[in-house]
């Protein structure tokens, strides 16, 4: 009689299913030699762009944002031109060289890459953020050095405000909540197409939020933000900006265009952006107040205790 084998049958050997992983970033915009830190930078940059878009500072396809991947040779990681920056994914970023040429990635680099590169060279920045907020566009247009004083006054009047052409009226309030003047230092009387090489300064004074800018530890100070006329020739505009960057308070305005800010790394650049956008928003609101008879002087007098 045959005895039944009591041993359990050997289980069938089944290969584990293949696991899917995200494609390496080098296949979609980054150089093959990039480390995990560079991949992390790509994710951080996309997160920052999404936050900026949610704040309404880069609507449509406006703005551009970059961070330094390598200093030698100089290489930037940035979003392609002509896309919604709030939706860009890490694998869609471009790698550009020191001349603004695309080394890796699909799409076209913005012409404004040249100004990003100039800022990095002149300031040692690790990240540059460029926004098109309402306040930045409006105020930079009002302080455009390429237009004459009468034109600036006219523009301010249209928006219910004033510019530096009435700075004598403002200077008497400098110890209150006034946020400064626009100095006409070196005003260029260009034709609005980039021929003027002058600069105005939007000045912010005696505000607690100034302490959010690196190097400032007291409200009892002022910062002078350079305002340059816009120019479709970005190489020429970048050259004009170079002499103003080291003294700028981590920010620069291009008239009728928007704001550029920078920082040693992405987190610092984002903080500087939030501070500058706050200052611009406050100045815009102050212009509205000054358009209401008696309102601005009353508010400022109250701040100094004159109404108590």
C-alpha distance from residue 57 to each of 19, 107, 123, 143, 207 (Å): 39, 23, 23, 20, 22
At 214-238, the pLDDT tens digits run 999 999 999 999 999 999 999 999 9
Rounded to whole angstroms, the Cα distance separating 159 from 161 reads 6
Task: For residue 5, list its beta bridge partners.
Answer: none
Q: What is the pLDDT of residue 293?
A: 72
Task: Please answer whether residues 125 and 262 qualify as being in contact, where contact means their C-beta atoms are separated by less than 8 angstroms.
Answer: yes
Per the confidence metrics, is the pTM higher than 0.95? Answer: no
> pLDDT of 116-165, one tens digit each?
999 999 999 999 999 999 999 999 999 999 885 545 555 555 544 444 44
Average pLDDT across the chain, whole number: 78
- Domains, the chain, ranges and CATH? 35-110 (3.40.225.10), 134-303 (no CATH)
Q: Is 50 left (phi over 0), alpha (psi -120 to 50) or beta?
A: alpha
């Amino acid at each position: 009689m045959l005895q039944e084998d009591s041993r359990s049958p050997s289980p069938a050997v089944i290969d584990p299913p293949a696991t899917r992983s995200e494609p390496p970033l080098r296949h979609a915009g980054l150089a093959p030699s990039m480390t995990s830190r560079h991949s992390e930078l790509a994710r951080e940059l996309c997160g920052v762009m999404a936050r900026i878009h949610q704040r309404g500072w880069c609507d449509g396809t406006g703005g551009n944002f970059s961070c330094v991947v390598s200093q030698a040779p100089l290489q930037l990681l940035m979003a392609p031109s002509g896309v919604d920056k709030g939706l860009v994914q890490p694998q869609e970023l471009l790698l550009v060289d020191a001349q603004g040429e695309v080394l890796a990635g699909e799409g076209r680099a913005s012409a404004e890459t040249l100004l990003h590169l100039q800022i990095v060279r002149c300031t040692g920045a690790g990240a540059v953020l460029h926004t098109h907020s309402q306040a930045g566009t409006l105020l930079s247009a009002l302080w455009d050095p390429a237009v004459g004083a009468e034109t600036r006054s006219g523009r301010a009047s249209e928006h219910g405000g004033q510019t530096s052409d009435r700075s004598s009226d403002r200077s008497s309030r400098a110890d209150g909540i006034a946020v400064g003047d626009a100095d006409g230092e070196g005003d260029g009387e260009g034709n609005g197409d980039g021929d003027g090489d002058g600069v105005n300064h939007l000045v912010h004074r005696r505000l607690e939020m100034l302490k959010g800018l690196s190097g400032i530890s007291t409200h009892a100070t002022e910062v002078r933000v350079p305002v340059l006329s816009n120019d479709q020739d970005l190489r020429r505009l970048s050259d004009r900006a170079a002499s103003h960057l080291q003294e700028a308070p981590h920010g620069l305005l291009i008239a009728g265009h928007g704001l550029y800010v920078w920082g040693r790394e992405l987190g610092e650049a984002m903080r500087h952006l939030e501070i500058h956008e706050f200052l611009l928003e406050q100045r815009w609101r102050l212009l509205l107040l000054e358009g209401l008879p008696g309102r601005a002087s009353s508010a400022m007098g109250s701040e100094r205790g004159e109404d108590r």
